[in-house]
Amino acid sequence: MDANDITTDAAFLADFATMSEFGATGDGGVDRQAASAADIEQRRWFAGLLESHGFTVEYDRIANQFGLLELVPGAPYVIVGSHMDSQPTAGKYDGAYGVLAAAHSAFRLKEAWEQGAVTPAYNLAVVNWFNEEGSRFAPSMMGSSVYTGKMALETALAVTDHLGVTVEQALADTGFVGTGDGPQAVGCAEIHIEQGRLLENAKVTIGLVTATWAASKYRIVIKGEQAHSGATVMEDRHDALLGASLLVVAARRLADRFPGSLHTAVGQLDVYPNSPVVVASRVTLLLDLRSGDEAVLKEADEILASAIAEIEADAKVSVDMNLSHSWGINPYQPEGVDVSRSSAEALGLSHMDIMTVAGHDSTNMKDIVPTVMLFVPSVEGISHAEGEYTTDEDLVAGLAVIAEVTRRLVAGELAPATSDSTDKELS
């Protein structure tokens, strides 16, 4: 192939290097929280890339960015993509790889179509979902949640960051807020880095995602009483931060009881009044339990609940636990896994079935249309950190598979299961 050919692996890697410059941290990572300057700039660049390849760029009302290619006038769309926003000081592969791989898959498909090598059954849309990470504006997967009807548009637009800026305000004047609901979906595909070590340990290139781990996500408020952190005698203290700390430690000990089958975490914790000389009266934290085994998760939930009374007595505080989100083992359509398996096999690439621990936009999409999810290996499993890394060889192997899956979906190989496959209502 000609090195200048827009559909070569070299062209893909060059575009990936360019896209990684937006919000670059200087330490190999990126910082592109949703609707930040870097995110906005990168979206403008991406719109230009899509348009230069003959795609029509559109936005829905929650700023999901679509690059549309009409192949069958009036037909619904196969939607392929991921997200370009990131965590603070994050890696450059998370989300962004999947969006660019989708774009290059679409470029390849367009070229094949122009050469008469594809008979499309559907149209094709590349997508860059808005705010998948949820670090600036919680919750995560906001754009795909609104698209799939799981979250109300008004609720999403009213979410504030820690400075009180709403999503609506942050998006104003960006040109990213459309007036419609985006293209009508008939199928979906996403490729992402694994964010774990299973593929690397098994020396396998392509992960065929069969299901999402079960999860229980708690929002917990620990209430104590403000007191002078020096003068107040220890017995009189009702220390919300002590209660919170006991809970963080308890969550970790809980994971240690189920080695390999339970992940627990507290990533966000806020102290009030957070003054050097005041015993905290309130701590708010988010605690997650995740497992690939629903029985393990249930047992872990119960152990956690039973630990609360002890923590309340120890720190003389009250603990309010609110199960904010939870889900069981959540399978992708087996027919979609078959499409990705046969695509990997056709390309001679090693593959294995795998579950995803993290949520993805495809986790939302699979509830409304048949959806394919693919992984490529993460070196040392590093994720949400500047040291995140996937080899170029694996990146282009993944690109080949998602391009093949895209071709098959557009050709109608993965037929919707129901007659009204484009219904956006949730099952």
Position 197 contacts a copy of itself (CB under 8 A): yes
SS3 165: coil
The answer to whether 421 contacts a copy of itself (rule: CB under 8 A) is no
Q: Which residue has the tokens 């988010």?
A: 286
Closer residue to a copy of itself in complex, CB, 44/316:
316
> Residue for token digits 């998760």?
297
Which of 13/286 has CB closer to a copy of itself?
286
Q: What are phi and psi of 365, to 5 degrees?
A: -65, -35
| Candidate segments 14-22, 101-109, 346-354, 379-387, binder of a copy of itself by CB under 8 A | 379-387
The answer to whether 82 and 98 have CB atoms below 8 angstroms apart is yes
Helices marked H in 326-412: 334-346, 361-365, 392-410
Q: Are 34 and 128 in contact (CB under 8 A)?
A: no
Confirm whether residue 384 is marked as ligand binding. Answer: yes
98 interacts with a copy of itself by CB under 8 A: no
From 3-11, 118-126, 273-281, 416-424, give the range in contact with a copy of itself by CB under 8 A: 273-281
x-or-dash pattern for a copy of itself, window 15-54, by CB under 8 A? Answer: ----------------------------------------
Torsion of CA 290, 296, 302, 303, to 10 degrees: -90
3-state secondary structure of 6: coil
Residue placing its CB nearer to a copy of itself in the complex, 286 or 307: 286
Alpha-carbon distance of 263 to 251, in angstroms, equals 9
3-state SS record for 270-287? EEECCCCCEECCEEEEEE
Consult the annotation and say whether 5 binds a ligand.
Answer: no
From 82-90, 101-109, 166-174, 389-397, span contacting a copy of itself (CB under 8 A): 82-90
CB of 238 to a copy of itself, least distance (A): 10
Q: Which of 279, 369, 376, 405 binds a copy of itself (CB under 8 A)?
A: 279
Which of the residues 401 through 420 are near a copy of itself (CB under 8 A)?
A: none
Q: Is 192 one of the annotated binding-site residues?
A: yes
Q: How far is the CB of 248 from a copy of itself (least distance, A)?
A: 4
Tokens representing 134 are: 């949820």
In DSSP notation, 133-190 reads S-SSSSSSSHHHHHHTTSS-HHHHHH-B-TTS-BHHHHHTTTT---SB--PPEEEEEE
Site for a copy of itself in 227-246 (CB under 8 A): 227-234, 236, 239, 241-242, 244-246
C-alpha distances (whole Å) from 331 to each of 43, 144, 334 are 31, 18, 8
Q: Is 83 annotated as a binding residue?
A: yes
Q: Which window, 50-58, 179-187, 191-199, 410-418, contacts a copy of itself (CB under 8 A)?
A: 191-199
Q: How far is the CB of 21 from a copy of itself (least distance, A)?
A: 20
Which residues contribute to the annotated binding site for Zn(2+)?
83, 94, 133, 192, 384
